Amino acid sequence: MLLDTGRVLTDDDAPEEKIRKLKTRIDARKAGVDERNSLYGGDRPLKFASPEFSEQAGGLFEGFSDNWCKTVPDTLRERLEVTAFEGEDGTTDTEAMRAWKRTRARVDVNLAILDALVVARSHALVWNPSGEQSDITFIPAGEAVVDYAPGTRNLRRSGLRIWSDGSYEFATLFTRAYGGRPPMVYRRQRTLNAGEWGPRTVGLRRSEQVDFVNPMGNEIPLVEIANRSRLHGDPESELDAVAPLQDGINTLWAHLFTAADFAALPQRVVMGMDKPTRDITDPDTGDIIDVEDIPLGRYSKDRLLWLSKNGAQIGQFTAADLKAYLEVISQAVRHIAAQTRTPPQYLLGEMANIAADALEAAESGLVAKASDKQTYFGEDLLEVMRLEALAAGQPARAVSLSMGRTVWRDPQYRSVAQYADALTKYRAIGVPDEALWRMIPGVTEEQVTEWIRMRDAQAQAAAEAASAALSAFGPKDGTDEGEGPEDEEEAA
């Protein structure tokens, strides 16, 4: 391998060299990231149009996009909602959930997953800046990169975060232990997009060091949240399959609008008559000095036409049928639905009199796709929470989370009646109430905990009431009824 490509790292590279090489990877991905972000935002130049059409239309359709590149990832992201993290024993890690909420990760994770679907990857940084509470920060693809050990897919050996304040560019590099050197954190800066990397001097407190041993040990606290597809190659964007069809749809709409402008109405033509002209006379002499054409637009505007030549006739061209364009556009949208497994009703809006079973079948592809994404995104997020436990100084909890799982909301949308029927049947076969409550969409772990407390309190109150009722009918002390001491003597 050639090391002068700027992308191949070695463990014995100097920190500045590692930053340079990792920054080169970020820059190499920038073009793809920018293109996919433009696709998602609907900012796409017109393609597949002939040179003649482009010359005639000019920039008329530059601001138009029938944007399916936003609908496809948004539809999938809506089915990916994290509800809890479980440890090795299958119980909810309440400390992880508290950190998840305290750091706003429960909100920002939706943006991170959407970025991963759109541009193939995003990142999460776990850190403990104050030494008291850990922090989780989600980072876009253009501001971070993770380097994996050669021959592995998950062993992170270094990570880089890049950001700028408009004047300087800052870099924080995390490395693993190597060759007797401890795991380190390096802070560097340089003039924006110029110069060499040097020790950071801007924005550091007096107590903060430029280079220091990683307090999290031999762990790279930067995690790549990747939209995985295959064992080899880079993560892929959900828009890669949509982009060509999106370009074709935009061009078809441009052709349809042009046809609607020029040929949607019947066109009339005058036959057997010279082009109408008007004499230009000299204002002084009154002589004809020239002839000019009369603009044809005047006749359509004034709705007048004077035929002054014998034999002149009016002909008519039939209006163009625009349905052909619409049929091709609809077919292209159906191709997008099939290739991305997006339910047709999300793209075409065709939901008239659809039975529940048919609707469930239409969404089966999307549900299967969302379940697959939950598997891979779930492992990445579980690694984030394992690092959070380490940053919080709780290694035992980190070990438990490494063997746990990420709990997601059911990706299949069902009615309240369907959920109630399913939960009733689960209960009939002995599934505990706590497990059933966690299956209800939108129910949080705090609500389940409160329901358990309310149930236990209700059971305790019922037991106390029953005990009080039994005591009212229990044996007496012998003074009011039954045999007292004197009766016992007489009996003797």
> 75-103: per-residue pLDDT in tens?
999 999 999 999 999 888 999 999 999 99
Q: pLDDT value at position 2?
A: 34
Whether the pLDDT of residue 355 is over 90: the answer is no
206-256 pLDDT, tens digit each: 778 899 999 999 999 999 999 987 888 889 999 998 999 998 888 888 888
pLDDT at res. 272: 65
Tell whether the model's pLDDT for residue 68 goes beyond 60. yes
User: Are both 199 and 307 inside the same structural domain?
Assistant: no
Range of the domain at 38: 3-54+92-234
Rounded average pLDDT over 349-355: 62
Asked if the model's pLDDT at residue 35 lies above 80, the reply is yes
Range of weakest confidence among 16-30, 281-295, 361-375: 281-295
pLDDT at 474: 62
Task: Select the more confidently predicted residue: 301 or 165.
Answer: 165
pLDDT at 428 over 60: yes
Statement to judge: residues 192 and 298 lie in one domain: no
Residues 216 and 270 in one domain: no
Structure-token match 């920039």, residue found: 59
pLDDT of 147 above 90: yes
The answer on pLDDT for 479 being more than 60 is no
Question: Is the same domain home to 200 and 139?
Answer: yes
Who has greater pLDDT, 319 or 409?
Answer: 409
CA atoms within 13 A on the CB side of 212: 8
Residue 484 — pLDDT band, cuts 50, 70, 90? low
The verdict on 276 and 206 lying in the same domain is no
Look at residue 19 and tell me whether its pLDDT is greater than 90: yes
Same-domain pairing of 8 and 150? yes
**How many other CB atoms are found less than 10 A from the CB of residue 219?**
18
Mean pLDDT of the chain: 84
Supply the pLDDT for residue 470: 81
274-288, 400-414, 436-450: lowest mean pLDDT where? 274-288
User: 185 and 107, same structural domain?
Assistant: yes
Instruction: Confirm whether 486 is domain-assigned.
Output: no
Residue 73 is assigned to a structural domain of this protein = no
What average pLDDT score do residues 6-35 get? 89
Domain count, the chain: 3
pLDDT at residue 3 is higher than 70 = no
Residues 286, 427, single domain; the answer is no
Rounded CA-CA distance 39/68 in Å is 9
Give dist(CA 411, CA 200) in Å, integer: 46
- What pLDDT was estimated at residue 59? 72
What is the model's pLDDT at position 302?
56
- Of 78-82, 229-233, 263-267, 408-412, the poorest mean pLDDT is in 263-267
pLDDT attached to residue 487: 54
Q: What pairing do the DSSP bridges indicate for beta strands 277-281 and 82-86?
A: unpaired
> Could you tell me the pTM of the whole model?
0.79
Residue 115 lies in a domain: yes
Q: Is residue 365 part of a domain?
A: no
Tokens of 100: 């998840």
Q: What is the pLDDT of residue 1?
A: 30
Is 375 a member of any domain? no
Q: Is the pLDDT of residue 139 over 50?
A: yes
416 vs 107, residue with greater confidence: 107
- Which of 126-130, 162-166, 397-401, 485-489 holds the top average pLDDT? 397-401
Say yes or no: 424 and 305 in one domain.
Answer: no
In a domain, 427, yes or no: yes
Q: What is the distance between the alpha carbons of residues 372 and 180, in angstroms, rounded to a whole number?
A: 41
Gap between the Cα atoms of 14 and 2, Å rounded: 17
Q: Is residue 16 part of a domain?
A: yes
Name the least confident of 118-127, 376-385, 407-416, 470-479.
Answer: 470-479
Query: Is 47 among the domain residues?
Result: yes
283 plus 427 within the same structural domain: no
| Domain co-membership, 279 together with 224 | no
Same domain, 205 and 296: no
Check whether 15 has a pLDDT greater than 90.
yes
Residues with Cβ < 8 Å from 248, sequence gap 6 or more? 47, 48, 332
In this prediction, residue 413 has a pLDDT band, given cuts at 50, 70 and 90, of confident
